[in-house]
A and B are shown apart, each in its own frame.
Chain A
């Protein structure tokens, strides 16, 4: 029943997104803008760009995440949807899980597009490192989405929402960002995943901890 309720929330969000294409279209365009910005900030020097690539990549993911994740619960404020969620019988953490899954998918799609854009426009070879890189991306995105979904529910209903969401999310995400940037750096240099096992374990541990805190505390955020 729990999984079914989470699935219903996920399905509803995916359907809304497919019909409106609101978030995805904006995020694709934002990813492209970021690419231009990074290029202008660092200049056309290939070597400098290549050295900064792991950091830029994750900076791009996080910035896109700030825009995308922050909107998670805005759609629920229309037509009294929020009341509908509050009145849902049973464990509220199913709603969190559904929203989280939707955000995770959304972020992954944007990240894949951003990655492809990086590969094309900066002329870097990402194919050879694609398999280990995707492991790093999935782990990092899970952490980002787990905290982002929780905090988005919170900031949907406070003053200065768009200001507060990054201010809460970024400090908590620092360890995940450190670990994923380090791991991405190693992976792009052609090192095997085993070389960065320590970092991956850290991110995985962080993912699990964030997820558990999110599942346990979500009901306190949703009420009234």
Chain B
């Protein structure tokens, strides 16, 4: 199962690369730099999926007390942090030539940075709780608090300041984007989700084996 996911993810990444660099046209204004979007946008969408799974795993653990839920939350949290970092780094690389700066305190950049630190804190807590069960309970509480905090962070930062272009895919109106670009983007979204699932299933296996060893 995991191996198949791995091959599918590799295939997806290859297709994504081909679509991003070959099929999709060069952006009329930004030039080739715009192609970073094919990594940037799928990364953050994947991170959102991961953090939603952290919430689901946290709630699942507190309700059922089964360690499988906790392993899901932990693994998803780790990968979510990696993809959030990927989003921040790719965005910076794109921002330097386009906006002329690596970083700006725009609303969406700021809220993504906050998302990143909240879940890094979550992972730190996990590494510092000594007993397995207690660590799982504490992490679940932080996972829930982090998730319910996301809308509050969103609005506070939105009102605090707003340079980032409005979201392209998840907006109610039709995407103001060339259809070829949109197709390339969607292929990359699927590819990164496959990568996520592959990493998740790997981490879940490792965590399960760790729990079995401890038991």
**A-to-B contact residues, CB < 8 Å:** 147, 150-151, 154, 157-160, 164, 167-168, 170-172, 174-176, 178-179, 182, 198-199, 202, 205-206, 209-210, 213, 217, 220-221, 223-224
Contacts and interface: CB of A to CB of B under 8 A. Distances in A.
Interface of B: 62, 114, 117-118, 121-122, 124-125, 128-130, 133-135, 137-138, 140-142, 144-146, 148-149, 152-153, 155-157, 159-160
Contacts of B62: 217, 220
Contacts, number: 88
Contacts of A168: 121-122, 124-125, 142
Contacts of A164: 121, 124-125, 128
A217 B121 contact: no
A202 B156 contact: yes
Given A174-B153, A206-B152, A154 B130 contact: no
A210 B135 CA distance: 21
B140 A150 contact: no
Of A151, A168, A170, A198, the most chain B CB neighbours within 10 A belong to A168
Contacts of B128: 158-160, 164
Contacts of A221: 137-138, 141
A179 B152 CA distance: 10
Contact of A171 (B118, B129, B155): B118
Chain B interface mostly: helix
A179 B181 CA distance: 38
Nearest to B160: A178
A174 B121 contact: no
Nearest to B135: A158
Nearest to B155: A202
A16 to B, nearest CB: 25
Contact of A224 (B130, B134, B145): B134
A171 B140 CA distance: 17
B159 A174 contact: no
B156 A179 contact: yes
A220 B152 contact: no
B57 to A, nearest CB: 14
Nearest to A143: B152
A182 B141 contact: no
B157 A220 contact: no
Nearest to A201: B155
| Minimum-distance CB pairs A-B, first 4 | A175-B156, A171-B117, A171-B118, A217-B141
